[in-house]
Amino acid sequence: MNEYRTHKCSDLRISDIGQSVVLSGWLHNRRDHGGVFFIDLRDHYGITQLVVQPDAPFFEEITHLQKENVIRVKGVVEKRDPDTVNNKIDTGEVEVLIESFDILGPAEPLPFAVFPEDDVAEELRLKYRFVDLRRSQLHNDIVLRSKIISRVRQKMESLDFIEYQTPVLTASSPEGARDFLVPSRLHPGHFYALPQAPQQFKQLLMVAGFDKYFQIAPCFRDEDARANRSPGEFYQIDMEMSFVTQDEIFAIIEDLFVDLFTTFSNKKIDSAPFVRIPYKEAMLKYGSDKPDLRNPVVARDLTDIFDGSGFSIFANQIASGAVVRALPVKGVADNPKKFFNGMVQWAMGDEIGAGGLAYLQWKDGEIKGPIAKVLSADELNEISNRCDVGEGDVIFFVCDDEKKAVSIVSHVRNRLGRELNLLSSDEFKFCWIIDYPMFEENDDTGKIEFSHNPFSMPQGGMEALLAKDPQDILAYQYDIVCNGEELSSGAIRNHRADIMYKAFEIGGYSKDEVDSKFGGMINAFKLGAPPHGGIAPGLDRLVMLIADRENLREVVAFPMNQKAQDLMMGAPRPVSDHQLNELSIRTETPEE
């Protein structure tokens, strides 16, 4: 018999009454009910109520134990009084009368309480993460993460994918985010890099003929932290397929996501196939390629109506190349003037930088607002028709150069969604963003450069590269978005060396540069590469959405803080001169 327990703290039921049992766990809570003392004992699986009678020889000792001591108890299972049954826990109909106990792991005073789960400063939570992980919400979220990973593996294997491992020590990449570098002892002055993603390796597996690959892949990027992005390391559900089309990849991801979200969440979810929105349309309607489709506000282009209109401020800007975007909102015309003034002041603040934010209200049978009097009846009528508005509705207007207008539309739309409670909290809305431009013009240099992923196959292949204006070429690139969160980017890959050389030539790279920086890939493509494509949904972000948390650190067991520090283990930190000498490295601390 296990000396520490005959049962787990979630096991005992009415059928166990009268049994002698041994339980071990953490002292979760304690209550004094007029002499009879109750203890909640917690382990990974659940909670069992323990009873200490006042005549027990160990009464004083056990009742003065502080919470989170690890104890072992021996006792007999009894039925609870009907008025003390707790239906919130699995063992709520029984309790254990303690006959003896001992302390397995004494606990000093805690930095913060495990129960109740009061608010605690994040820095303190991260420093004592092993205590924080005992708290039920975080503990359950980490278990949920494990279950999601297990389900992913089951699902991928059912779709004939095989899991392969790719190297963690690799070569530094000249593209993308900053690498984490690892010095080589055997090759002084040379460095490995931790992979930002297994991108090249998974493509090489396709060239090697493995057909369908997936991996729960660790990725490392030296980036600043955000609520939806961890600094340092993260995990993704990495996958790649040979002889595959974009539609087939979409179908696989939709199958996987519908399964995961319906299995682990009670929220409503879109049925497959998910909505597909071309990039250009997304930027026009939502000002973003990560639109939250729960928000019903959709922008319209009304540049032609205001061009030459009586509203001279907009008309003059349009003559200089500006555009006008309208954001109609249903049923908010009765909001107080304070709301509208607040929106205008916020839009004109330093964060957004709009020149202004005009609006019209359809209220009391009239069209009101600061710009109503400078527009003709025909113009107002055309605005109403194009934006499908009527009594009770409002339209906000943005006028700026197109790139700035797109950014302002995104900010205004998101703020309206929050301020007016337009976002449903009980559903997941998915969409695919497709048809990304292959190239774009750099605003500062005027040069043509890659806009998204240089390794994607251009739509139209070599013919498009030779015949089209680079800024008119679309790529087989796609993102999947849920509730305004980008879950993954992917692409049908450029698997042809000749097409790759030409694409990089347009992007400003010489053949020698391509050979130097991407030699492994280009050489592989010269030796018989199949058409292939893939995608890599972010696991951390996926779990964050399903668990309904606002920060990735709530679904990662041991995250870093916003400054990319591990406060618990004290990383990063200096190393000894001996270690540096072995690596032929000298350090220089920058001046403050």
In order, the DSSP letters of 452-470 are S-TTBPBTTHHHHHHHS-G
The pLDDT assigned to 1 comes to 67
Token pair 């660790």 is found at: 218
Tokens of 325: 């975007």
The predicted structure's pLDDT at residue 149? 98
How far apart are alpha carbons 549 and 535 in whole angstroms? 24
**Domains 14-105 and 123-266+538-592 fall in the same CATH topology:** no
The residue length of the chain stands at 592
d(CA 380, CA 373): 10
Q: Which fold has domain 295-423?
A: Gyrase A; domain 2 (3.30.1360)
What pLDDT, on the 0 to 100 scale, is given for residue 230?
76
Of 311, 289, 412, 306, the residue nearest 353 (C-alpha): 412
The runs of H, that is alpha helices, within 34-98 are 59-63
List, as one string, the DSSP characters of 2-27: -SS-SS-TTT--GGGTT-EEEEEEEE
| Integer Cα distance of 440 and 469 in angstroms | 11
Q: What is the pLDDT of residue 176?
A: 67
Interatomic CA distance for residues 339 and 330, integer angstroms: 15
Q: Residue 494, SS3?
A: coil
Q: What is the pLDDT of residue 225?
A: 72
User: What would you report as the CA-atom Rg of the chain, rounded to the nearest whole angstrom?
Assistant: 30
Separation of alpha carbons 249 and 254, rounded Å: 9
Contacts 24+ apart (CB under 8 A), 464-471: 465/499, 465/502, 465/503, 465/506, 466/502, 470/438, 470/439, 470/506, 471/437, 471/439, 471/440, 471/441
Task: Break the chain into its structural domains and give their ranges.
Answer: 14-105, 123-266+538-592, 295-423
Digits of tens for pLDDT over the chain (592 positions)?
A: 689 999 999 999 999 999 999 999 999 999 998 889 999 999 999 999 999 999 999 999 999 999 999 999 999 999 999 989 999 999 999 999 999 999 999 999 999 999 999 999 999 999 999 999 999 999 999 999 999 999 999 999 999 999 999 999 998 876 667 899 999 999 999 999 999 999 999 999 999 999 999 999 999 999 877 766 778 899 999 999 999 999 999 999 999 999 999 999 999 999 999 999 999 999 999 999 999 999 999 999 999 999 999 899 999 999 999 999 999 999 999 999 999 999 999 999 999 999 999 999 999 999 999 999 999 999 999 999 999 999 999 999 999 999 999 999 999 999 999 999 999 999 999 999 999 999 999 988 989 999 988 999 999 999 999 999 999 999 999 999 999 999 999 999 999 999 999 999 999 999 999 998 888 889 999 999 999 999 999 999 999 999 999 999 999 999 999 999 999 999 999 999 999 999 999 888 777 6
CATH number assigned to the domain with residue range 14-105, chosen from the 4 options 3.40.1360.10, 2.40.50.140, 1.10.10.350, 3.40.50.300: 2.40.50.140
- Integer Cα distance of 283 and 301 in angstroms: 11
Give the DSSP letter of residue 535. Answer: E
Other CB atoms closer than 10 Å to residue 283's CB: what's the count? Answer: 22
Predicted pLDDT at 175: 60
Name the fold adopted by 123-266+538-592: BirA Bifunctional Protein; domain 2 (3.30.930)
DSSP 272: S
